[in-house]
Structure 1
Amino acid sequence: MFDPHNDLHRVGSLDELRTHYRHPHAGTRGKERPALDAASATVAERCRFATIGTFDVLGNADVSPRGGPSGFIRVLDPTHLAMADLGGNNRLDTLENIVATGRVALLLITPGKSETVRVNGAAFVSTDPELLHGFQLPKPPKSAIVIRVETTYMHCAKAFMRSGMWDQSVWAELADVPDGAAVLSCQGVVDVDAETTRKWLDDDYAEALAVEAQTT
């Protein structure tokens, strides 16, 4: 049985790591770009779901899902994006990390498509009224994440293809996987059963999204 405390086979250097993998194709090595092209800009502008990676001053990493209607991400110019910060749980993990370290990594995901667009760069949190009112949303967000693109590239589809991400037959196979309510109940975060927690979550989501949809 594998022992995670046994370092015998731990990879200890970049050179050692490379011995286990072939070198990437020239096209793979050279596909990074310093700015958004027309196609990548369209992906960003029409993006409805993304993941954003950040880290704090101690190096603790975090990845958060971000979603909204097309337009919650704006292309300001080929090297700058702005992402509206829509309502969340108010932990502010992502925003705090950006304020602290100013670095982000984005994965832009289009439902039904298996290739994605990655964006890495510097970032800051802005409350500029002109920026916030420029989002085509029911009401302006409280803040926005402004990203200066340093590298961007298309990521291949293999992970999505292997996982069957958009295959509805796979969804059916996973129907019995514990949902968020079951996880919270199992962890002891809530002191009620999963069914009660499920209702509370659904009501909370509905209320939050209804408030968000209000124009005033």
Structure 2
Amino acid sequence: MTSHRITTAEELSEIYGEPAIAALKKELTALTPGYRAMIEASPFVALATSSPEDGIDCSPRGDPAGFVHIADERTIMLPDRPGNRRIDTLRNILVDPRIALLFLIPGLGETLRINGRAEISRDPEILARFEMNGRLPITVLVVHVEKVFFQCSKAIIRSKLWDPAMHVSRGSLPTAGKLLEEATQAEMLAAEYDPWLEERIKQTLY
């Protein structure tokens, strides 16, 4: 029986061919003015980390556009706000500092990708840069850029991510409480979780 599983880099190269020249030329080791502008316009970034102990993690970060501070052409900083206290990302970084970031910009097809190494800071001066509503972040991630490049708009175009006509009605999917009830096999109930969720989010947003 013939296997259709791809197992070698050579097979991939045979199927996909050589990368486009532009795809290689756009990858840099430092931020250009254009790449800086994209970071400053982004209110949302997904962070990917990994470690032998805790495995792979990808988690969202968001704040008003400009929340990621550009210290210099090879260093960016982003706040870690109050959350669910799982701290999967932070635990991974302690073991393996490698990190990948994907910046989204509402209305724009292109995304920005950064690969680098991160450290966790509690420096009071750094924390003070990210004060929001009178509150400081718990920690700040300092990311040392190793690779940066933009991704073309094809994925956003295909997904129609920014098309309002494609937005999903919240009522068409389970609430957070329903998901929690299902995951815990009714140990935690939606009827007890959902009514206070909006208020809890407001109180703990920053």
TM-score, structure 1 as length reference: 0.85
Tell me how far apart the structure 1 counterparts of residues 185 and 26 of structure 2 sit (CA, whole Å).
Answer: 44
- Alignment match, 1:75: 70
Tell me how far apart the structure 1 counterparts of residues 175 and 25 of structure 2 sit (CA, whole Å).
Answer: 40
Check the 8 A contact 2:48/2:99 in 1, yes or no: yes
Q: Cα gap change, 1:203/1:174 in structure 2, threshold over 3 Å: closer, same or farther?
A: closer
Superimposed CA distance per residue, residues 186-212 of structure 1 (whole angstroms, 9 cap, x where no aligned partner): 222653554543324323212212xx2
- Alignment match, 2:113: 118
Tell me how far apart the structure 1 counterparts of residues 5 and 95 of structure 2 sit (CA, whole Å).
Answer: 31
Superimposed CA distance per residue, residues 49-105 of structure 1 (whole angstroms, 9 cap, x where no aligned partner): 100000013471110000112332100000000011111111111111111111110
Check the 8 A contact 1:79/1:149 in 2, yes or no: yes
- Tell me the secondary structure at the aligned position of residue 90 of structure 1: coil
Residue identity opposite 1:21 in structure 2: Y
Check the 8 A contact 2:69/2:78 in 1, yes or no: yes
- Alignment match, 1:148: 144
Tell me how far apart the structure 1 counterparts of residues 173 and 75 of structure 2 sit (CA, whole Å).
Answer: 39
Residues 19-168 of structure 1: matches in 2 within 5 Å?
A: 19-58=14-53, 60-135=55-130, 137-138=132-133, 139-168=135-164
Residue identity opposite 1:180 in structure 2: A
Superimposed CA distance per residue, residues 149-193 of structure 1 (whole angstroms, 9 cap, x where no aligned partner): 000001111111111111111114785133433322222265355
Q: Cα gap change, 1:96/1:58 in structure 2, threshold over 3 Å: closer, same or farther?
A: closer
Number of residues of Structure 1 aligned to a counterpart in Structure 2: 205
Tell me how far apart the structure 1 counterparts of residues 143 and 35 of structure 2 sit (CA, whole Å).
Answer: 15
Tell me how far apart the structure 2 counterparts of residues 46 and 103 of structure 1 sit (CA, whole Å).
Answer: 24
Q: Cα gap change, 1:134/1:207 in structure 2, threshold over 3 Å: closer, same or farther?
A: closer
Tell me how far apart the structure 1 counterparts of residues 2 and 162 of structure 2 sit (CA, whole Å).
Answer: 38
RMSD of aligned alpha carbons: 2.3
Check the 8 A contact 1:71/1:136 in 2, yes or no: no
Q: 1:198 aligns with which of 159, 180, 194?
A: 194
Aligned-pair identity (%) = 32
TM-score, structure 2 as length reference: 0.89
Tell me how far apart the structure 1 counterparts of residues 21 and 117 of structure 2 sit (CA, whole Å).
Answer: 27
- Tell me the secondary structure at the aligned position of residue 20 of structure 1: helix
Q: Cα gap change, 1:174/1:69 in structure 2, threshold over 3 Å: closer, same or farther?
A: closer
